[in-house]
Chains A and B, each alone.
Chain A
Amino acid sequence: GAGVSQTPSNKVTEKGKYVELRCDPISGHTALYWYRQSLGQGPEFLIYFQGTGAADDSGLPNDRFFAVRPEGSVSTLKIQRTERGDSAVYLCASSSGARSYGYTFGSGTRLTVV
């Protein structure tokens, strides 16, 4: 597609529930990143995929968070047993690997845990 698409744009869930957030990157982009942005903060790195594999998952806060990219395109971020502190905007970005152009970010999924 023309840009990075994230769905849903908004998600409200109850504490303790499971959620899945989807990212559809720019066609042909091999690198995919997930970031989390809390109110008034800059984006915080979660995980990086190169192709199908998670090349760097050092930013995942705990084992409730997991992400997959089974065919090297669409990625899903999965959060188990959600907590109120998980409320944030989850941003996905993709890149062709050419660092000089930075990433292209999606508009994010705003997750609210009540």
Chain B
Amino acid sequence: EDQVTQSPEALRLQEGESSSLNCSYTVSGLRGLFWYRQDPGKGPEFLFTLYSAGEEKEKERLKATLTKKESFLHITAPKPEDSATYLCAVYPSGGGSEKLVFGKGTKLTVNP
């Protein structure tokens, strides 16, 4: 069964305090791994897609990396507006399904 586990469940940082969020996955085959940001009362907002081990993507203070078993979302010098829940999802290959399998997310709070 395809599974995604995100850690920690919640993370509190001071503004400017860099850290990383973890996404561990178990899939029969990986077509892609997605990172989303979700604000309260909103739908998830697409951040990155990663396809193969060793790949990295960057956007402002965020950088996503991928290995064969996990992905990291690195947040450099975060600001209060980076506070949100960050969701990781895998797009498994095989089985003919188009679904994404999501983790439960990491709730990030950045204090000024």
Task: Provide the residues of chain B in CB contact with A106, threshold 8 Å.
Answer: 43
Stretch of B11-19, B68-76, B102-110 with 4 or more beta carbons under 8 angstroms from chain A: B102-110
Measured CB to CB, the closest approach of chain B to A29, in angstroms, equals: 13
Q: Give the A-B pair count, Cβ closer than 8 A.
A: 63
Q: Interface residues of A: mostly helix, strand, loop or mixed? A: mixed
Q: Closest B-chain residue to A102, C-beta based?
A: B46
- Chain A residues with CB under 8 Å of B46's CB are 101-104
Docked pose: A99 CA to B99 CA in angstroms: 12
Contact A99 B43 (CB under 8 A): no
Shortest C-beta distance, A69 to chain B (Å), equals 14
Determine if A43 and B44 form an interchain contact, defined as CB atoms under 8 angstroms apart. yes
| In contact, B99 and A107 (Cβ under 8 angstroms) | no
Q: Are A55 and B34 in contact (CB under 8 A)?
A: no
Residue B89 lies at the interface, judged by CB distance under 8 Å to chain A: yes
Q: Mark A37-69, 1 if CB is under 8 A from B, else 0.
A: 000111111001010000110110000000000
Does B4 sit within 8 A of A, measured CB to CB?
Answer: yes
B45 contacts the other chain (Cβ, under 8 Å)?
Answer: yes
| Pairs A-B, 6 closest by C-beta atoms | A42-B102, A105-B43, A45-B99, A102-B46, A48-B98, A105-B44
Measured CB to CB, the residues of A under 8 A from B are 4, 31, 33, 40-45, 48, 50, 55-56, 58-59, 91, 93, 99-108
Known: A56-B96, A99-B32, A101-B46. 20 other contacts (CB 8 A): A33-B99, A40-B104, A42-B89, A42-B104, A42-B105, A43-B87, A43-B102, A45-B97, A48-B97, A48-B99, A55-B98, A59-B99, A91-B44, A99-B31, A99-B49, A99-B91, A100-B49, A102-B49, A103-B46, A105-B43
